[in-house]
Amino acid sequence: MVKDLSPEEVYDALISQGAYEEANLDWDVIKKNLSMALEDYAFGKTLRKMPHPSWRVIFNIHYDALRELGDQLMRFKKVKCSNHQGVFAFLVLKFKELDFDWVFLERIRQARNKNKYENLDISREMWKTVELQFDLSISALKREIESKLEKV
């Protein structure tokens, strides 16, 4: 059985591998990416109301919006990382005031990977267990990014 790693263990391993890189802090790029991620998120929310939605599509839209917003928030610390687990570890460790749930972030990352690489679908039942936390996490990221942009 594979041991679950803590955010500290993930962060330390990725630091040693050079996975965290210096990033430019370009306000216009952050604003554009924020806008696109929120547009995707809003579209994903409308899909939830369809009579027979694809929970996989809805999950993936929300996952990508959350990850993209995380990427943009990292830019304020002038850091980027292409590894999803690395993005989530960074958010948990470097934005403690936002109180991100590592277990939730790992759960959705693993579900996304199983869907993408093992062809396991996302059921309505699975979606319902993460829906509220997706909304809360995306809302927290949005507020934090907008707050930082207001100070510019």
pLDDT digits (tens, 9 = 90+) for 10-38: 999 999 999 999 999 999 999 999 999 99
- Is residue 21 classed as helix, strand or coil in its secondary structure? strand
For residue 3, the model assigns a pLDDT of 72
In the predicted model, is pLDDT for residue 100 greater than 90? yes
pTM of the model: 0.95
CB 119 within 8 A of CB 44: no
Residue 77 banded pLDDT, cuts 50, 70, 90: very high
Q: Which of 20, 19, 45 is nearest to 142 (CA)?
A: 45
3 versus 97: the higher-pLDDT residue is 97
**Does the pLDDT of residue 46 top 70, yes or no?**
yes
Which tokens is 77 given? 């610390």
Q: Does pLDDT of 1 surpass 80?
A: no
